[in-house]
Amino acid sequence: MPIRPLYDRVIVRSLDVSKTTESGIVVYSPTADKPDHGEVVAVGDGHVLNDGTLRPLTVKVGDQVLFGKYDGSPISVDGEDLLVFLESQIIGIIS
C-alpha cells in the first residue's frame, strides 16, 4: 500500500455489494445499499493515550471488519476507492 495511515487510522477496501442469484447471475444495482464491511489494507501505529504512551491497534491488515454505512472518509489511491476510519469507528472484526 503506497499510503501509511497515522496514529489510530485504518484504511479499508469495501467488499463487493453485488448480489448473486441462485442461478449464479451477478446482479449489481446502483441503488444498492452502501457497503458496511470491508478488508483492512493498512493500519497506523496506534492510539496515543493522554500520558503519551502508544496503544497498538486491535485490527490488523487482512482483517474483515464491520462499520457503519455512512462512517469513514472516502479516498482514492492509485485509482482504487478506499475508506479511512478511526479505529473507534469500526464496529467489529468478522471471524
| Total domains in the fold of the chain | 1
Convert the pLDDT of each residue in 23-55 to its tens digit. Answer: 777 666 555 566 689 999 999 999 999 999 999
* CATH number for the domain that contains residue 80: 2.30.33.40
Which residue range(s) make up the domain with 50?
Answer: 9-94
Task: With respect to residue 1, please indicate whether it lies within any of the assigned structural domains.
Answer: no
Cell of 87: 479505529
Picking from 2-11, 20-29, 41-50, 74-83, which range would have the lowest pLDDT averaged per residue?
20-29
| pLDDT digits 0-9 by tens, 82-92 | 999 999 999 99
Phi, psi of 35 (to 5 degrees): -65, 150
Q: How many CA atoms lie within 13 A of 28 on its CB side?
A: 5
d(CA 77, CA 57): 22
Asked if the structure places residue 4 within a domain, the reply is: no
